[in-house]
Structure 1
Amino acid sequence: MFATTRIGAVCVYVSDIARTRAFYGEVLGLPIQSMGDDDSGNDWLQAETAGGVEMLFFKQPAAPGGSPVIIFDLKTGDIAAVIDALEARGTEILSPVSEAPGGWSAEFADPDGHILSVFQAAGLRPA
């Protein structure tokens, strides 16, 4: 199901956005963009790597299973159908399909509790 799906982003939960911006931007030299409010009153950051995989930084406590969260970028199909298929195979769904910055996302866990996510751009709204 995911063999041909590109990893589009790695999401990292951080405690301090300014400190994160300084480290990843000034120390590591990644181009950091402030992406504004995530609807909860927090700014979030985005950094593009040379390989095209985005790094996303959100201020919040680490989620169960920790951070980072690997995000699979769906280019076609229906995100709801993907989540339904995962659930039918016994996968633990951590968050249902919901709006995310720029589209739709859902989270699920691997057998060890590590969080994985799927993202579908807004132009490809789920059915």
Structure 2
Amino acid sequence: MLSNCKIGAIVFFVADLARSVAFYGDTLGLPVQSLDGHDGPWATADMGGLTLVFIPRTATVGDSPVVVFHLDGGIDDYADALVARGVEIIVPVSEAPSGGLTLDFVDPDRNVLSLYQLAGAQRRRT
């Protein structure tokens, strides 16, 4: 089902956004960009086609990082297919901080996985 997707992002929930920006930018030397979204500040770092996303949020061990699969479109079709296969959706299709759409689900060990669709792409493939 996800064989046509690529991992486009890894999301880290961080306790202190400024500290994470300094670590990944200054200490590790990644190009970090601080942003403002509809839910507040967040940041990204580019790693050659893979985006690291930093969102300030309290998280328990196992909640972070979240692997994000990028879709060209059809996020609602993917959601329907996941449900039909008995996959637990923990965050239904909703707006991402970037304005795109996202959906979170868990694997059998409760690791969080996410689908992401760019803003403006069709929600259904059909």
Same fold (TM over 0.5): yes
Cα separation, partners in 2 of 1:32 and 1:73, compared to 1, 3 Å? same
- Output the CA distance in 2 between the equivalents of 1:16 and 1:115: 21
Match of 2:47 among 49, 52, 65: 49
How far 1:3 moved relative to its partner?
1.6
Does the residue aligned with 1:122 lie in a helix, a strand or coil? coil
TM-score by length of 1: 0.91
How far 1:102 moved relative to its partner?
2.9
Match of 1:113 among 106, 110, 114: 110
Does the residue aligned with 1:23 lie in a helix, a strand or coil? helix
Counterpart of 2:91 in structure 1 is: 95
What is the RMSD of the two structures over their aligned residues, measured on CA atoms? 1.4
- Output the CA distance in 2 between the equivalents of 1:31 and 1:96: 31
Does the residue aligned with 1:123 lie in a helix, a strand or coil? coil
List alignment gaps of at least 5 residues for structure 1.
Answer: none
Contact conserved, 1:104 with 1:125, CA < 8 A, in 2? no
Counterpart of 1:19 in structure 2 is: 19
Contact conserved, 1:30 with 1:48, CA < 8 A, in 2? yes
Q: In the TM superposition, what whole-angstrom CA distance separates every residue of 1:96-123 from its partner, at most 9, and x where no partner exists?
A: 1011123100000000000000011112
Q: In the TM superposition, what whole-angstrom CA distance separates every residue of 1:31-90 from its partner, at most 9, and x where no partner exists?
A: 000111x323x310010102x0100000001168410000000014x1011011001101
Aligned length: 123
Q: In the TM superposition, what whole-angstrom CA distance separates every residue of 1:9-37 from its partner, at most 9, and x where no partner exists?
A: 0000000011001100000000000111x
- Output the CA distance in 2 between the equivalents of 1:11 and 1:69: 5
- Output the CA distance in 2 between the equivalents of 1:64 and 1:9: 19
Counterpart of 1:8 in structure 2 is: 8
Percentage of identical aligned residues: 44
Cα separation, partners in 2 of 1:19 and 1:31, compared to 1, 3 Å? same
TM-score by length of 2: 0.92
Cα separation, partners in 2 of 1:64 and 1:124, compared to 1, 3 Å? farther
- Output the CA distance in 2 between the equivalents of 1:96 and 1:63: 21
Q: Which amino acid aligns with 1:12?
A: F
